[in-house]
Amino acid sequence: MILEIDNVELNFNYKRILSGIYLKAETGRVVGILGSNGCGKTSLLNIIFGNIQPKYKLVRIGKKPILKPLYLTKLVKYLPQHTFLLNLKLPSIFKLFHVDWEGFILHLPAFSKYKKTKINRLSGGEQRFVEIYLILKSNSDIVLLDEPFSHIAPLQIEKIKQLISIEKLEKIIIITDHLYSHIIETSDEIYLLKNGCSKKNR
């Protein structure tokens, strides 16, 4: 699958944030988005997902224009910067996302002790790791990850990188984080956002 985002123009309070943005992503390759704080990285992910309607945009999948918000196609999962899980016991949350709880604790036995624990009883880093795992393992063709490496323990960061390398084989993954080194290491292609424009760097 090939996803293209073209001719994106976004203004806030008459200030142009994004202008003429182009980005291409495909199954089997991780696309990283880099740029300074406030350059529009999160806005671009929200535009792709469909949460933000910019002045202009063109979204194509396999050269076919997608005229409705991408999230309505059920092809995409999005990890926002804020927490989004309901305060339920972990196995119940995994069931809601149609992700195998037993498979999770088999590979990550440290979480097995939380079988009867509600998500808000975990540390912030543990909650974030569960969110990332659920988004990556959920049934989708496109995954958008906003700041997945922030506030995560180093050991869990390595596990996230391993998970991304596995899931990208069957999914389009677009990722951004202010921790540049992890994006550079994880990504197959990198786009730089600067002055409202995108430039492919790798």
- Residue-wise pLDDT tens digits, 102-147: 999 998 999 999 999 999 999 999 999 999 999 999 999 999 999 9
Using the predicted structure, report yes or no on whether residue 6 has a pLDDT greater than 90.
Answer: yes
How far is it, in rounded angstroms, from Cα 185 to Cα 169?
Answer: 17
Q: What is the pLDDT of residues 50-77, one digit of tens each?
A: 999 998 999 999 989 999 999 999 899 9
Tell me the mean pLDDT in the region 77-103: 94
Alpha-carbon distances of 125 from 85, 120, 129, 136, 144, rounded to whole Å = 14, 11, 6, 17, 19
Q: What is the pLDDT of residues 141-196, one digit of tens each?
A: 999 999 999 889 898 999 999 999 999 999 999 999 988 999 999 999 999 998 88
Q: Which residues are CB-neighbours of 108 under 8 A, at least 6 positions away?
A: 159
Please classify residue 174 by burial: count the beta carbons closer than 10 Å to its beta carbon, then call 0-12 exposed, 13-18 middle and 19+ buried: buried
Q: How confident is the model at residue 12 (pLDDT cuts 50, 70, 90)?
A: confident
Q: Which residues of 142-165 are buried (b: 16+ CB within 10 A; e: fewer)?
A: bbbbbbbbeebeeebbebbeebbe
Write the single-letter amino acid at 75.
L
- Return contacts of 23-26, CB within 8 angstroms, 24+ apart: 23/48, 23/174, 23/191, 23/198, 25/142, 25/172, 25/173, 25/174, 25/189, 26/1, 26/2, 26/172
Confirm if 173 and 160 have CB atoms less than 8 A apart.
no
Tell me the mean pLDDT in the region 87-110: 94
SS3 (DSSP) at 43: helix
The DSSP symbol for 196 reads: T
Domains and CATH numbers, the chain: 2-195 (3.40.50.300)
How far is it, in rounded angstroms, from Cα 78 to Cα 50?
Answer: 10
Q: How many CA atoms lie within 13 A of 50 on its CB side?
A: 14
Q: Which of 41, 25, 63 is nearest to 172 (CA)?
A: 25
